[in-house]
Structure 1
Amino acid sequence: MTENPETGTPGAERLSTRHAAERLGVKPETVYAYVSRGLLRRHRSANGRGSTFDAAEVDALALSRRSGRRPAPAAGVASPLTTGITLIEDDRCYYRGVDSSALAARHDYEEVAQWLWTGRLTPGVRFTAPPGQIAAARAGVAALPPSGTAEDRLHAATVAASAGDPLRSDLSPGTVHATARALVATLVEAQPELGPPPPDGAPLAARLWPRLTPRPPSAAGLRALDAALVLLLDHDMAVSTLAARVAATARAHPYAVALAGLGALDGPLHGAAAAPAHRMLRETSERDEAGDGAAAVVGTRLREGARVPGIGHLLYRRRDPRAETLFGLLEAVPEAAGALDASRRIVTAAGRHRPAFGNVDLALAVLSVGCGMQPEAGQVVFAVARTSGWVAHALEEYTEPAMRLRPSGQYRGPRPPRPVP
């Protein structure tokens, strides 16, 4: 047993991020990439300002890298799933090896989603659904009580679309592609209309816009929304994606895969995280009129023991590349200027005593606040975008042995035999 060099407490030898990176011969950012892949475990320092790593785990990982062997997961960490879809590394996000921000700058959402599924780019592809499927989904949404949420509408639309598709259990790739195109289009068309519809043949972002806000779209606003859809298409093994893959390993059809993903998405720490950020931006703007603004809003949340929504990320250390791209596009949206300024002041207030950066939830909130959308708009954008990502993972999982994602539980209850109660 040695003394922890970073915290001064007794225990196994611990290494700071910098020392771990030196032993591994990598950048500090790569150390955290190893954490996200389950190859290292990290612990917060006692002062809360950094992370420490078990020296033995670091040395074992270094040895495996030098020998060319595939690294084994750290003890107590689930083995990572192998995927060829998304890589998050060095504060960048890549789809099949291509920077997601570069894709968002060059192609619209439907083109990128189709490419992610097939590996082929189809310029100008449009996702459409049979009229009967859209009608069934709208009827399912209309049957919800007034208290129904955006998540409820997404669930209802998916169930109705599934019920009307007799070929839903055909898992051949071509059929899955067609099913996914129709499902994504149905999720958009089933949302209540708030503004005038776009012309026929419009891209998905233009069809989604009037479902999110009554304001007419600007070219810059549509560009930002379309980019948000691309940037949110996938994000490695997020909890909703893991849920979707678990459904796919049991050979669930694409609608059921989407429902599994939607169920996990409906948590305040995942797909619903943009709504608290939306409300925080609105509150900041209102308090600005009283002269206390962002610092007061951030201070209130910290005083209540709550996290500041839209700040930081588990997988990124210094920047969220999706947020940076979206913030850049929002600078060209005049109506978002006030919300964008408020978001910067929130990041400054949150980072007064430690580094901070805005994540994609905060960028979505700037889009929704600036363009007159409801707080739930970010969740709708997230769910529509990520549905295509779930399908990409389902297609990958359908080629793996069935039921491979069935772990064994480690029983911790009383040992049998026990009397019948």
Structure 2
Amino acid sequence: MDQWITTSEAAARLGVKRGTLYSYVSRGVLVSRRQPGQSESLFDRTQIDSLAAAKHDGRRAGDRLLRFRAVATRVSSIRDDRLYLRGRDVAEVCAAMDFAAAARFVLAVDGPRQVATVDDAVIAAVDVERRIPLAVALIAAHDPLRVDRTDASARVLGLLPALTRAVPEIDWAHPWVDLLATTLIDNGLAASTTAARVAASARAGVFDALLAGYAALSGPLHGGAPAAAYDMVDAVVAGTPVERALADAVIDGRLPGFGHVVYGGPDPRARIVFDRIRHDMPDSPALAAADQLTARTGRPVNVDLASAVVARELELGPRAGEVLFQYGRTVGMAAHVVEEYGEAPLRWRGSPNGADRATS
């Protein structure tokens, strides 16, 4: 873990603006330094984390326990409706790398480490959307080093072939599948990523932390959303009026496949996948259905709609989108888990009315 962090990261960890950070320096609360060739000042990570604890708790945290803090991450970032993986635009990552190369890039590891083997027949006996979590649970159960945090990135890289074997119904080598999985690697601190980081903060092993992430991912407003989008696209392809398909698809007041909490315009991941489909198969019935739905709503699309088109056109079934989400996000969650291992433990604060809530 680097002792010195940039101004931007220090401000993010404290949950303040850069101007506030500079005022702390002028008042002697913090000390900064400049390095030749660095565009930003550098701050001592321990000093920043101690101040974060004092801000929220009214007293300095102990050396080993940081009671409250913001999460600063270098795995991904979102700026101006663009997604960056390790500082590189996701469109550039997808253009230059397949999923295997992108996984090595995001996990910052050269090669895999072997993991325990499990009985594929046991995994095949459950529904497709439960197989990846089950495979990871069984591998963790048979892994004598499951709480060992060393080589966690390499072990997750070694885990990926077992995950593809768990769902042989999907052609993992298909370029659309590979591309979609790459776009799904990470998207900031989503529910699944946050859940995995919380488990990692308690120093759970990487496989157990992934299971926490899969649990959050299973919700219909997260990893389950592509299934609802699939049903909507499938209905339009089958001849259901667009208005009826849209009305039937609403979940908890939200329309799957459209809008996103962190993007004001179209989801950049959806654009990447749709551009590939439109290039490869411009007369795709599923693509045409998605276009009709988009025209009727007038709303920006998100990656769940693109996932639905891929699954429908390749005849993968309605739950394939969730499986692809699990597979791609395994890499991102693991990268966050490894990052979290180098941090002081997380702790949230509750309040009677839900105000002034510590964030993840």
TM-score range (shorter-chain normalised) is: 0.7 to 0.9
Q: CA deviation at 1:407?
A: 1.9
Which of the numbers 192, 202, 215 marks the counterpart of 1:240? 192
Look up the match of 1:294: 242
Distance 2:190 2:314 in 1: 28
1:150 aligns with 2:128: yes
* 8 Å contact kept, 2:69–2:346: no
- Determine which structure has greater relative contact order: mean sequence separation of CA pairs < 8 Å that are 6+ residues apart, divided by chain length: 2
Look up the match of 1:21: none
Look up the match of 2:314: 371
Q: Deviations over 1:62-81 (max 9, x none)?
A: 964886989x9xx9xx9641
Look up the match of 1:34: none
Q: CA deviation at 1:169?
A: 2.0
Distance 2:291 2:338 in 1: 39
Which of the numbers 369, 386, 391 marks the counterpart of 2:334? 391
* 8 Å contact kept, 2:129–2:320: no
What's the TM-score, normalizing by structure 1?
Answer: 0.65
Distance 1:260 1:331 in 2: 36
* 8 Å contact kept, 2:86–2:106: yes
Q: Deviations over 1:38-85 (max 9, x none)?
A: 999xxxxxxxxxxxxxxxxxxx95964886989x9xx9xx96411111
**What SS is found at the alignment partner of 1:308?**
coil
Q: CA deviation at 1:258?
A: 0.8
Counterpart code for 2:302: N
* 8 Å contact kept, 1:129–1:185: no
Instruction: Give the gaps of 5 or more residues in structure 1.
Output: 1-36, 41-59, 195-207, 211-216, 413-421
1:94 aligns with 2:35: no
Aligned-pair Cα RMSD in Å: 3.1
Q: CA deviation at 1:333?
A: 3.4
Look up the match of 1:7: none
**What SS is found at the alignment partner of 1:87?**
strand
Q: CA deviation at 1:268?
A: 0.4
* 8 Å contact kept, 1:141–1:156: yes
**What SS is found at the alignment partner of 1:331?**
helix
* 8 Å contact kept, 1:137–1:190: no
Counterpart code for 1:209: D
Cα 1:256–1:285 shift into 2, 3 Å:
same
Look up the match of 1:138: 120
Look up the match of 1:177: 153
Which of the numbers 271, 281, 284 marks the counterpart of 1:334? 281
Distance 1:278 1:310 in 2: 9
Counterpart code for 1:155: P
Q: CA deviation at 1:300?
A: 5.0
* 8 Å contact kept, 1:105–1:227: no
Q: How does 1:292-371 map onto structure 2 within 5 Å? A: 293-301=241-249, 306-334=253-281, 337-351=284-298, 356-371=299-314
* 8 Å contact kept, 1:282–1:369: yes
Which of the numbers 250, 253, 262 marks the counterpart of 2:205? 253
Which structure is larger by alpha-carbon Rg, 1 or 2? Answer: 1
Look up the match of 1:209: 171
Distance 1:66 1:397 in 2: 27
Counterpart code for 2:348: P
* 8 Å contact kept, 2:274–2:306: yes
Cα 1:409–1:64 shift into 2, 3 Å:
closer
Distance 1:409 1:306 in 2: 27
Q: How many residues are aligned here?
A: 305
Counterpart code for 2:233: L
Q: CA deviation at 1:306?
A: 4.3
Distance 2:99 2:206 in 1: 19
